C-alpha cells in the first residue's frame, strides 16, 4: 500500500511516499481503509525527532474511513462500517490502511458527518473535551482562557468549554489576522497574546481565569500562570512556540492556590483506551450535530510535506486533512 513515511528526522521535505506492507489487525484491533488522515502539529514533532520513534516511521495520529478487517476479540465493529479513529498510540494514519485498538474507533453510522471533517475530530476535539472535563474539571459558569484560539485544537477548546457550561470564554492569538477567525469559533473575546498580561484584569473583573489552557509555551506559559484566579487550573498541553521549558515554582502554587496539570492524548489513550474512546464518541457526536464546528481544508496525501510546512509556519487556521481515498 501507499504511505507517507519519515525515513530520517528533519525538515518537511524528508517526507516521502513509499510502498509499505499492509498492516493486519491483532487481537482487539481493527484495520481501516483510510479516507482522510488529519494533519497535526504532533506529526511535525515526530518528523523533527522531538519524539524518538523507530525509522522509517509512518506518522498519522487520526483517520476517517471504513473498517477493512476486524481482529479477534473485537465486538460491535464490522467491515465496511464508516468510522473515525485515533491512531495515536502507534501512529500510521498517513497511509491507505491503518490499524488501531477497537476502543479508539467511533462508528459514524447514521451520523451526518463527512469523512473529511471526521478525520479532523479524533485528536483535537477529543482532547478539548478531556482537557476541560477530565483534567480541569470545569464547573458551570467558570471563566476559560485558551491560547492559539484559531488553531486546530484552539478552535475546539472554546466551543467545548461552552458546551460544558463555561461562563466567559476568551482566546488569544499571535496576530491581528486571526482575531476574527477565532471569534467565528465562538470566543467571547479574543486578545493578542502579547497583550494578555495587561488585559486579564479587565477581562475577568480583576479575578483572573478559572482555567487556562496553554499549548504555546514560552512567555505564554508564564503569562498563563499569572492569569489564574485563586483555585485556578492551568493545563499544559503543548509547546507550539518551540521555546525552552518554563519552570514553575511549587511554593508559588502553594501560596496562591493555583494548580498546574498536564495532558497528552497519546499517553492518555495508551493508559485509558476506553475513556479516550468515550471522549472520541462524544466529540464525533458533537461535530455531527453541529454543536462543534470543525473547519477543514483538504490536501492530497502526496502533499503531506506542504501540510507540515503550513502547520510549522503558524499561519493555518482550523484544520488540514490529507485525502487518502477520500
Ligand atoms: N497534549 C495533547 O494531547 C495535544 C493534542 C492536540 C494538540 N496539542 C498541541 O497543541 C498545539 C497546537 O496543535 P494544533 O494541532 O492546534 O496546531 P495548529 O492548528 O497548527 O496550531 C498551532 C498554533 O500555535 C501558535 N504558535 C505559536 N508559536 C508558534 C510557532 N513558533 N510555530 C507554529 N505555531 C505557533 C499559532 O497560533 P497563533 O498564531 O495564534 O500564535 C499556531 O496556529 C501543538 O503544540 C500540539 O502539539 C497537544
Please identify, by atom number, the ligand 1 atom nearest to the C-alpha of residue 262.
Answer: 1
pLDDT tens-digit map of 131-162: 999 999 999 999 999 999 999 999 999 999 99
Output the average pLDDT for the chain.
97
Instruction: Please give the pLDDT value at position 326.
Output: 72
Pairing of strands 82-86, 62-70: antiparallel
What pLDDT shows up at residue 156? 98
Neighbours of 221 (CB within 10 A): 23
Q: Stretch 273-281: mean pLDDT, rounded? A: 98
* Angle, CA of 285, 98 and 77, to the nearest 5°: 50
Looking at residue 52, its pLDDT comes to 87
How large is the average pLDDT for residues 220-241? 98
**Stretch 2-11: mean pLDDT, rounded?**
98
Pocket perturbation via mutation, ligand 1, pick of 314, 315, 317 by most ligand atoms within 8 A of CB? 314
C-alpha cell at position 184: 467565528
How confident is the model at residue 141, as a pLDDT? 98
Q: What are 158-177's pLDDT values in tens digits? A: 999 999 999 999 999 999 99
Atom of ligand 1 nearest to the CA of 239: 45
Instruction: Report, in angstroms and rounded to the nearest whole number, the Rg of the chain calculated over CA atoms.
Output: 19
Above pLDDT 90, what percent of the chain?
98
Q: 3.40.50.300, 3.90.180.10, 3.20.20.70, 3.40.50.150: which CATH number matches 2-120+294-323?
A: 3.90.180.10
Pocket of ligand 1 (CB under 6 A): 40-42, 123-124, 127, 148, 150-154, 173-175, 178, 215-216, 237-242, 263-265, 311-312, 314, 316
Cα 147 to averaged position of ligand 1 atoms, centre (Å): 9
Cα–Cα distance for residue pair 145/76, rounded to 1 Å: 38
Fold held by 124-264: Rossmann fold (3.40.50)
Domain boundaries, the chain: 2-120+294-323, 124-264
The tally of CA atoms less than 13 A away on the side-chain side of residue 75 is 0
- What is the mean predicted confidence (pLDDT) over 265-280? 98
Q: What confidence score (pLDDT) does residue 315 get? A: 86
* Tens-place pLDDT, residues 120-134: 999 999 999 999 999
Q: How far apart are the C-alpha atoms of 201 and 226, rounded to whole Å?
A: 11
Q: Do the domains at 2-120+294-323 and 124-264 have one common CATH topology?
A: no
Please choose from 41, 123, 145, 158 the residue to mutate so as to test ligand 1's pocket, defined by most ligand atoms within 8 A of CB: 41
Q: Which atom of ligand 1 is nearest to the CA of 40?
A: 15
What is the per-residue DSSP string for 242-301? Answer: -PPP----HHHHHHHT-EEEE--HHHHHHH-HHHHHHHHHHHHHHHHHTSS---EEEEEG
The number of the ligand 1 atom at minimal distance from the alpha carbon of 240 is: 45
Mean pLDDT of 215-219: 98
Tell me which residue has its CA closest to atom 42 in ligand 1. Answer: 314
Q: Could you tell me the CA-to-CA distances from 219 to 70, 204, 225, 241, 249 in Å, in that order?
A: 47, 20, 10, 9, 15
pLDDT confidence tier of residue 274, bands split at 50, 70 and 90: very high
* Closest ligand 1 atom, residue 172 Cα: 40
Q: If pLDDT is split at 50, 70 and 90, which confidence band does 83 have?
A: very high
Residue 318: predicted pLDDT: 87
Residue 207 has what pLDDT? 97
Q: Taking CA 61 as the corner, what is the angle to CA 59 and CA 63, rounded to the nearest 5 degrees?
A: 105
Cα 58 to ligand 1 centre (Å): 21
Amino acid at each position: 500500500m501507499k504511505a507517507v513515511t519519515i525515513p530520517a528526522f528533519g525538515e518537511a521535505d524528508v517526507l516521502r511516499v513509499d510502498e509499505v506492507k499492509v498492516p493486519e489487525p491483532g487481537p482487539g484491533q481493527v484495520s481501516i481503509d483510510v479516507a482522510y488522515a488529519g494533519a497535526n502539529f504532533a506529526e511535525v514533532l515526530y518528523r523533527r525527532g522531538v519524539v524518538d520513534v523507530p525509522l522509517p516511521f509512518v506518522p498519522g495520529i487520526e483517520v476517517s474511513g471504513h473498517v477493512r478487517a476486524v481482529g479477534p476479540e473485537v465486538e460491535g465493529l464490522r467491515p465496511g462500517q464508516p468510522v473515525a479513529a485515533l491512531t495515536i498510540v502507534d501512529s500510521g494514519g498517513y497511509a491507505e490502511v491503518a490499524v488501531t485498538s477497537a476502543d479508539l474507533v467511533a462508528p459514524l453510522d447514521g451520523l451526518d458527518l463527512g469523512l473529511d471533517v471526521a478525520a479532523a475530530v479524533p485528536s483535537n476535539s477529543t482532547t478539548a473535551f478531556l482537557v476541560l472535563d477530565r483534567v480541569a474539571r470545569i464547573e458551570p459558569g467558570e471563566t476559560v482562557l485558551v491560547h492559539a484560539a484559531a488553531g486546530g485544537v484552539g478552535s475546539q477548546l472554546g466551543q467545548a468549554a461552552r458546551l460544558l457550561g463555561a461562563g466567559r470564554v476568551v482566546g488569544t492569538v499571535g496576530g491581528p489576522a486571526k482575531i476574527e477567525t477565532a471569534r467565528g469559533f465562538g470566543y467571547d473575546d479574543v486578545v493578542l497574546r502579547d497583550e494578555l498580561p495587561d488585559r486579564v484584569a479587565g477581562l475577568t473583573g480583576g479575578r483572573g481565569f478559572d482555567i487556562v489552557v496553554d499549548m504555546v509555551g514560552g512567555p505564554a506559559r508564564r503569562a498563563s500562570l499569572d492569569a489564574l484566579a485563586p483555585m485556578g487550573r492551568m493545563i499544559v498541553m503543548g509547546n507550539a512556540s518551540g521555546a525552552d521549558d518554563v519552570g514553575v515554582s511549587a511554593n508559588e502554587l502553594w501560596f496562591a492556590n493555583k494548580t498546574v496539570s498536564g495532558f497528552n492524548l497519546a499517553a492518555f489513550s495508551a493508559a485509558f483506551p476506553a475513556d479516550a474512546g468515550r471522549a472520541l464518541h462524544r466529540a464525533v457526536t458533537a461535530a455531527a450535530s453541529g454543536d462543534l464546528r470543525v473547519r477543514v481544508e483538504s490536501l492530497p496525501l502526496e502533499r503531506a510535506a506542504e501540510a507540515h510546512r503550513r502547520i510549522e509556519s503558524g499561519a493555518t487556521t482550523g484544520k488540514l486533512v490529507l485525502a487518502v481515498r477520500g
